Amino acid sequence: MITTLILLAATATTPAAPATVAPAPAAHVATLDYDAAKALADRDEAGMSKLSADMLRRSQAGVLDRAADSCRTDEAPKSFTVVLELDAQGRATNHWRSEDTGLAKCMDEKLSRQMFYVPQKAPFYISFEVSFTK
């Protein structure tokens, strides 16, 4: 019992070593606009092998179909593009769209919440170009 009390007394009177806190990294992440994000998506998609590009297209088709089913609207169709920035696990960490129509907003929201492709590098940018024909 005496040993424990001496240890506690010694601990209480010993000044704590100053905590070293590593400085936060500088926030140098530039905010991308839609055009810059689309250019990155075009670059990343163009750099894919044919096999990877085919796999991406198939997975995009499935997620796009599900999003379209959820976003039905009566508004006049207008073409739009949604760009996603994916992390190493395939989660969207950022997203942009070319138009502010109700359909584009809904599709952007649905597409940015679904995991469907795990890229070989991160960040990885992809785009969904949606157009309508009669």
CA 119 to CA 89: how far, in whole Å? Answer: 7
pLDDT for 19: 41
pLDDT for 25: 40
CA 56 to CA 50: how far, in whole Å? Answer: 10
Q: Lowest mean pLDDT of 18-22, 52-56, 108-112, name the range.
A: 18-22
Q: What is the pTM of this model?
A: 0.76
- For residue 100, what are the contacts with CB-CB under 8 A and spacing of at least 6? none
pLDDT for 7: 32
Q: Is the peptide bond before 23 cis (omega within 30 degrees of 0)?
A: no
Looking at every residue in the chain, the average pLDDT score rounds to 83
- The per-residue pLDDT for range 37-77, each reduced to its tens digit, is 999 999 999 999 999 999 999 999 999 999 999 999 999 99
Q: Is the pLDDT of residue 16 over 60?
A: no
Torsion of CA 123, 128, 129, 131, to 10 degrees: -170
Higher pLDDT, 24 or 47: 47
Percent of the chain with pLDDT over 70: 77
Tokens of 50: 């044919």
pLDDT for 29: 47
Q: Is the pLDDT of residue 9 over 80?
A: no
What domains can you pick out in the chain, each with its CATH number? Answer: 32-130 (3.30.1150)
Percent of the chain with pLDDT over 90: 73
Distances (CA, A) of 55 to 38, 58, 62: 20, 5, 11
CA 115 to CA 71: how far, in whole Å? Answer: 18
Torsion of CA 54, 114, 32, 126, to 10 degrees: 0
CA 4 to CA 12: how far, in whole Å? Answer: 12
